[in-house]
Amino acid sequence: MIGLILTLVGVFVSVILHGISPIFLFMEFGSIIIVVMGCFGATISSFPWTVTQTMGKVIGKALKGGEKPSAAETIKQIVHMTTRARGEGLLALEEEAKKIEDPYFKKGLALAVDGTDPDQLKKTMFAEIIAMKERHKLGAAWCEKAGVYAPTFGIIGAVFGLISTMSKLSQPNEVGAGIAGAFVATFWGVFIANGIFLPWSAKLKQISADEVAHKQLIVEGVMAIQAGVSPRIVEEMLMSHVPPAEREETDGAAERAAA
């Protein structure tokens, strides 16, 4: 939201400084209609209707930002469970698995406790990651396509405006205003693409990448718990997923869990 507000402020302050009335931009209904409806119509036509139906939630996620899970907290949980599993056996984690809030982590740990074959466990967990990535790609691609179509319809709107203006060459007083109005469609097309849809697409891709990285950390952790790896080695192995600024918070989790 901060980025969107900065974009709006930057663009419309510039509009005013150039001596253009923002009201003029909003009063060109023909330009707005062709860009907005043309852009949405072409984008909707590019995807199955089921994808478009979910875009309200997807755009909400782009605006609010996804809740980035804490890798440090997850590693602490994994180290604690590794310590307990080595001391008491995997079955000791059965009740603890039910308390985990993350459904993906809970599912993986439950499969490990049930004695699922390690290769099958890994395949099952990675299959969910792959499916999630494909779902996320559709949302980001929808916004990206809208960002591609918007400027094109802006150009079409400008062409219509120039055609209308050229038909009035016998009325010189209206030519200037007609040309100015023609370029309003180009403005809206470029602004909607570069100020809204393309940034949303980039944001959704980043949110997806963060979620994938966190799930991969969980897979590594669950596999290590099942294999009975030393808590200290598990901690060191998973630390690569934690940004350097957060590593102090995680360091020593194995020692604290053992104590």
Angle ∠(14,15,18) on CA atoms, nearest 5: 85
According to the model, what pLDDT value does residue 70 have?
A: 78
CB neighbours of residue 202 within 10 Å: 15
Q: What is the pLDDT of residues 102-122, one digit of tens each?
A: 889 889 888 888 888 989 999
**Percent of the chain scored above 70 by pLDDT?**
89
CA distances from 255 to 78, 87, 166, 251 (A): 13, 14, 80, 9
DSSP state for residue 101 in the 8-state scheme: S
First and final C-alpha spacing in the chain: 44
Q: What is the pLDDT of residues 146-178, one digit of tens each?
A: 999 999 999 999 898 888 777 776 676 767 667
CB neighbours of residue 34 within 10 Å: 20
Q: Are 207 and 153 in contact (CB under 8 A)?
A: no
Residue reference for tokens 């989790």: 253
Residues 82, 75: Cα–Cα separation, whole Å: 10
Residues 108, 219: Cα–Cα separation, whole Å: 7
List the beta strands (DSSP E) in the chain. Answer: none
Residues 192, 29: Cα–Cα separation, whole Å: 15
CA distances from 143 to 44, 66, 132, 215 (A): 11, 16, 18, 25
Sign for the CA dihedral angle at 148, 149, 151, 155 comes to positive
Q: What is the mean pLDDT of residues 188-201?
A: 93
**Percent of the chain scored above 90 by pLDDT?**
35
User: 3-12, 62-71, 103-112: lowest mean pLDDT where?
Assistant: 62-71
Q: Are 191 and 36 in contact (CB under 8 A)?
A: no
Q: Decide if pLDDT at 248 tops 70.
A: no
Q: How confident is the model at residue 66 (pLDDT cuts 50, 70, 90)?
A: low
Q: Are 141 and 48 in contact (CB under 8 A)?
A: no
pTM: 0.81
